[in-house]
Structures are given as structure tokens and as C-alpha cells.
Chains A and B, each alone.
Chain A
Amino acid sequence: MFTKSEIKENLLGCFEIAIFMRRGVGRFRDTKVTAVKSLVIPLVLTPIVVILMVMVSQDFATEVLIPLHVGRIILTMMITWAIVYLLSKHFNRDQYFWRFVTISCWVDIIGFLLLLPIVIGVMTGYEFSVFESYALFSGIVGYVYAAFIATHVLKLPWELGGFVAIVSMGVSENMIDFTVYLRDSFAYSV
């Protein structure tokens, strides 16, 4: 797995990316092995996100929600990476693709930290509706980070980095709508 110094370096990179420092991007390795190893981070964090999703959709059966959300998260990641790969290949930047995958996995830690107040709030009995504005804000900030990362990892102009982020937003939002549609369909058919 990751060595102690690698974890330290990558966490420092995450922190630097959180404060929009370009050098944070350079701390991550550019190899396929590192990218594959990094998948452990979304793997660890996905259950927590799924638990949150289950807690905020209490009207639906857990056995419907869990596979739906796990499927959604995996599909969203795969489609986004496929599009980013196509775009990076188109702009002759495919040599940076593995670094992009590594960073997008590690940056899930920042996303999780942004989500943490909602997780704590919902677990301590707050209604999810009080966090709706913050959830929206976190989502927007997440896409700003995505644009920053795409710009500096793939060494693209910022307009294209923004475009990559908007594409990922398009994928993510459509997948959420599709999941909600499936969830409602299953709920009616049960």
C-alpha cells in the first residue's frame, strides 16, 4: 500500500489543493499503480456517504437505497473519468490522466471534510432540510476544486478546466436524477 511518507505527501497535497495552491497538484505521483491504489480512499469514504443518503431518505427501503447509491457513485466516477480521458487524449494530455485519477480520489477527503458538518448534524438529529443550502454550497465549491484540478493537472487553459468540471457536474446531476427516478419506481412497484 502507501508508505507513510507518501500518505504525508498526498495529504499535504490535498491541503494545498484545498487552498488552491498549484504546487499541491505536483505532490501526487503520475503512475497507474498509484492511481489504482488511490481507489482505496473512495472505497473507504463511500459507505459513510451512502449511510448519509440512507439517513436523509428515510421514506424508502434501505435495501433499495444502498445498491442504488453505490451504483450511482461507481458509475459517476467511471463516466467522468472516461470523459476526462477522452478530453485529455484529444488535447494530447493523456500522460497526466493517472495523476488526475489519483488526485480526484485523494480530494475525496476534502469533499468528505466539507460534508462532515452535515454527517454530524444528521447523526445528532437535525433535519437534512436545514443543511440544504450548505449542501448546495459544498457541491458548487466541489466543482470549483474540480475545475482547478483539471486545469493544473492536465495543464489546460482554465476555461477548459471549467468545462471539464461542468461536464462532471452534468454527469453527476443526471446520475442523481436517474437514481431518484429508479428509487421512486422501485418504491411504487414494491
Chain B
Amino acid sequence: MISKGELTQNLRGCLEIFLFMPKGIERFDITRAKAIQSFFIPLALLPFILMIVVNMNDEFSPTLIISLNLLRIFLSIILFLTAVYFLAKQFDRQDHFYKFIQVSNWLNINALLLAMPILIGMASGVPSDDFEVYAVFCEIVGYVYSAFVITHCFRLPWEMGGFIAIVGLAINENLFDLSNYARDMLAVSV
């Protein structure tokens, strides 16, 4: 798996990206094996995300919400990575693709840290409505980080990085709407 030195290096990279330091991106490896290994992070953090989603949809059955959201997350990762690969190929930057996968997987740690107040709040019984504005804020900040990572990872102009991040936003939002539609349909039909 990941060596101690690599772990330190990647966590340092996460911190530097959090501070918008371009050198943070250089800390990550460019190999395919490391990119595949890094999928361990979103997998490990998935239960926390599902906990938030289940809590925010407490009027629906948890099994329905978990299966729908697992499918949504899985699909949005595949669609987003495909879109990024396609766009990177257009600009002849596909050699940085594995680094991008790695960085975006490791950045799930930053996202979890940002979402931590929501998790703690929910665990201590604060109603989920109170966190709605903060959740939107985290999401917007997430897309800003995404644009930053794409710009520096693929060495693209920032407008292009921003565009790819917006493509990611479109994929996520549409899949989210679709999963909400499916949730409402399935809940009515049950």
C-alpha cells in the first residue's frame, strides 16, 4: 500500500492545495498504480458522506437513500473522469491524467475536513436545515479547488480549469436531481 513517506508527502500536498499553493500538486505521483491505489481514500470516506446524506433525508428509507446515492456517486465519478480525460486529450495533456485522479482522490480528505462541522453537528442532534448554507458554501469552495487542481495539474489556462470544474458541477447537479427524482418516484411506488 502507501508508504509512510508517501503518506506524509501526499498529506502535505493536500494541505498545500488547501492553501492554493501550486507546488502541492507536484507532490503527487504520476503513475497509474498510484492512481488506482488512491481510490482507497474515497472508499474509506464514503460511509461519512452516506451518513450525511441519510441524515438529510430522514423521511425516506435509509436503504433506498444509500443505494441511490452510491449509484449517483459512482456514476458522477465515472462521468466526470471521462469528461476530464476527453478534454485533457483535446489539449494534449492526457499524460497528467493519473496525477489528476490521485489528487482528486486525496482531496476527499480536505472535503471531509470541511464537512466535519456538519457531521459533528448531526451527531450532536442539531437539525440538518441549520447546515444548509454551510453545505452550499462547502460545495462552491469544492468547485473552486477543483478548478485550481485542474488548472495546475494539466497546466491549462485558469479559464479552462474553471470550465472543466463547471462541467463537473453540471454532472453532479444533474445526477443529484436525477437521484432525487428517482428517490421520490420509488418512495411513492413503495
* Contacts from A to B (Cβ < 8 Å): 15, 18-23, 117-118, 121, 130-131, 133-134, 137, 144, 148
Contact A130 B21 (CB under 8 A): yes
Contact residues of B between 2 and 51, Cβ < 8 Å to A: 19-21, 23
- Nearest-neighbour CB distance to chain B for A4, whole angstroms, equals 22
Q: B72-92 CB contact bits vs A (8 Å, 1 = yes)?
A: 000000000000000000000
Contact B137 A134 (CB under 8 A): no
Our pick among A19, A117, A130 for the contact of B134 (Cβ within 8 Å) is A19
A137–B145 CA distance with the chains assembled, in angstroms: 11
- Specify which of B19, B23, B130 lies most central, judged by the most chain A CB atoms within 10 Å of its CB: B19
Can you name the residue of chain B whose Cβ is closest to the Cβ of A148?
B133
Our pick among B20, B130, B131, B137 for the contact of A137 (Cβ within 8 Å) is B20
Residues of A within 8 A of B23 (CB): 130
- Nearest-neighbour CB distance to chain B for A19, whole angstroms, equals 4
- Nearest-neighbour CB distance to chain A for B190, whole angstroms, equals 34
Can you name the residue of chain A whose Cβ is closest to the Cβ of B24?
A130
A143–B130 CA distance with the chains assembled, in angstroms: 21
- Nearest-neighbour CB distance to chain B for A136, whole angstroms, equals 8
Contact B21 A20 (CB under 8 A): no
The dominant DSSP class at the B interface is helix
Total inter-chain residue pairs, C-beta < 8 Å = 34
Q: A19-B117, A20-B137 are in contact. Are A133 and B131 (CB under 8 A)?
A: no
Contact A21 B134 (CB under 8 A): yes
Contact B19 A20 (CB under 8 A): no
B contacts with A, residue count (CB < 8 A):
14
Give 21 CB contacts A-B under 8 Å.
Answer: A15-B117, A18-B117, A19-B117, A19-B118, A20-B137, A21-B130, A21-B131, A21-B133, A21-B134, A22-B130, A118-B19, A121-B19, A131-B19, A131-B20, A131-B21, A133-B20, A133-B21, A134-B20, A134-B21, A137-B20, A148-B133
Residues of B within 8 A of A118 (CB): 19
Residues of B within 8 A of A22 (CB): 130
* B144 lies within 8 A of chain A by Cβ: yes
- Nearest-neighbour CB distance to chain B for A21, whole angstroms, equals 5
A134–B23 CA distance with the chains assembled, in angstroms: 13
A133–B121 CA distance with the chains assembled, in angstroms: 30
Residues of B within 8 A of A20 (CB): 133-134, 137
A18–B117 CA distance with the chains assembled, in angstroms: 10
Can you name the residue of chain A whose Cβ is closest to the Cβ of B19?
A134
A4–B21 CA distance with the chains assembled, in angstroms: 39
Can you name the residue of chain A whose Cβ is closest to the Cβ of B138?
A19
A2–B133 CA distance with the chains assembled, in angstroms: 30
Residues of B within 8 A of A19 (CB): 117-118, 121, 131, 134
Residues of A within 8 A of B117 (CB): 15, 18-19
Residues of A within 8 A of B19 (CB): 117-118, 121, 131, 134
- Nearest-neighbour CB distance to chain B for A26, whole angstroms, equals 12
- Specify which of A18, A19, A20, A21 lies most central, judged by the most chain B CB atoms within 10 Å of its CB: A19
A19–B23 CA distance with the chains assembled, in angstroms: 29
